[in-house]
Amino acid sequence: MRITPRKAALSGLALVGVVSLLAGCAAAPKAESTTAAKTKFLPCMVSDSGGFDDKSFNQLGLEGLQAAAKSIGASYKKAESNADTDYAPNIDSMVAANCNLIITVGFNLAAASLAAAKAHPDIQFAIIDDGADANFDGKVDEPNIKPILFDTAQAAFLAGYASASYSKSGTVGTFGGMQFPTVTIFMDGFADGVAQFNKDKSKSVKVVGWDVTSQKGSFTGGFAANDTAKSTAQNLIDQGADVIFPVGGPIFQSAGAAITDSKKDIALLGADADVFNTFPLYDKLYLTSVLKGIDPATQAVVKASVKQAKGTFDNVAYVGNLKNDGVGVAPFHAFKSKVDSGLQGELDKLKADIISGKLTVKSYLSGS
């Protein structure tokens, strides 16, 4: 169990959240809403700074909110954050709009979300990708906030195995946006999947950009598709990686640009959404994507919340995994004919072994 590095990362996460909360003095962007609804229950959402059109994390959350609102005959409201200073004001705008459930998207909103939940005990809150546990005691800090979490290490394990199988250079790479547990859980699983392939096949495929043991690697310092993300991807290309796995919202777009500019035969992996569908510009590069079921999880939480009587809010964390289809791996799409003919069968067997408990994938959510 990787205890020390993980605790250090969690402490850093708490500090960033507090800074974001204290900085939250900017004017909030205008909240948007749908037309008239059949029920008075009003679910709402506040995005991270990546915005709702990030083709990944925030977009999946919004799509889940929209689908749930349609299903229950409700209107909804949303507020998009352009910077961390928008988090607290945006949540306040949702409180002022009389929202019954406020879902915040991402661990960066943890401090602002917990503060709002404490200040407004009659409003239900949920937060995606954070345990709402600033004290790190294994308990949700406020009774009216529900964590929505995903053990993506399990799915990333399968993607790492597939990447090692596909690699011709014997080197694959990964990098992240910021070094938080919800990012490194992908990178850990990816590296562990490569290690499993090496063990099963007596190979020695190398991972660059992340070291599982030391918990050190390459990060862009944010979640924007920019020159920093592109140069970070280029660094992995320069080290010989022919499969690259960026973890952090739209930073995969910069990796796609770096691969295209290199004119080399390099495959790209997506995170959270199936980027083959959400961002088809680089459809010929995508080996697969590690899927996080943000959309269905959001729908489930909204639908459950509308049915709960006042004072009976269920704040037990939702944890998506392979068993409940909360995480998964996208099809190979354009790479179907390029991967080994027996690879899909091997992945199916590994998935079954993970679900049954025969094979354990380590993560901070699995407790191993």
pLDDT in tens, 29-88: 555 555 455 889 999 999 998 889 887 789 999 999 999 999 999 999 999 999 999 999
Residue 107 lies in a domain: yes
Q: Residues 103-156: pLDDT tens digits? A: 999 989 999 999 999 999 999 999 999 999 987 778 899 999 999 999 999 999
pLDDT score at 220: 98
Q: How far is CA 159 from the centre of its chain?
A: 15
Q: Residues 323-365: pLDDT tens digits? A: 999 999 999 999 999 999 999 999 999 999 999 999 999 998 8
pLDDT score at 167: 98
Residue span of the structural domain in which 223 resides: 152-291+337-356
Residue 268 maps to which CATH number? 3.40.50.2300
| Residue carrying structure tokens 């749930």 | 68
pLDDT score at 19: 32
310 and 285 co-located in one domain: no
pLDDT score at 49: 86
pLDDT score at 191: 98
76 and 196 co-located in one domain: no
Residue 36 lies in a domain: yes
Q: Residues 166-191: pLDDT tens digits? A: 999 999 999 999 998 989 999 999 99
CA 42/CA 31 separation, integer angstroms: 13
pLDDT score at 140: 94
pLDDT score at 136: 76
Q: Count the domains in the chain.
A: 2
208 and 346 co-located in one domain: yes
pLDDT score at 137: 78
Confidence class for position 15, pLDDT limits 50, 70, 90: very low
Q: Residues 281-318: pLDDT tens digits? A: 999 999 999 999 999 999 999 999 988 866 678 999 99
| Residue carrying structure tokens 């409700």 | 74
CA 345/CA 68 separation, integer angstroms: 35
- DSSP state letters, 258-309: HHHHHTS--EEEEEES-HHHH-GGGTTTEEEEEEE-HHHHHHHHHHHHHHSP
Q: What is the mean pLDDT of residues 5-34?
A: 41
161 and 116 co-located in one domain: no
Proportion of the chain above pLDDT 90, given as a percent: 78
Residue 331 lies in a domain: no
When the pLDDT of each residue in the chain is averaged and rounded to a whole number, the result is: 89
Residue 326 lies in a domain: no
137 and 163 co-located in one domain: no
pLDDT score at 53: 87
Residue 330 lies in a domain: no
CA 201/CA 198 separation, integer angstroms: 5
Q: Residues 115-125: pLDDT tens digits? A: 999 999 999 99
Confidence class for position 236, pLDDT limits 50, 70, 90: very high
Q: Would the pTM of this model clear 0.85, i.e. be above it?
A: no
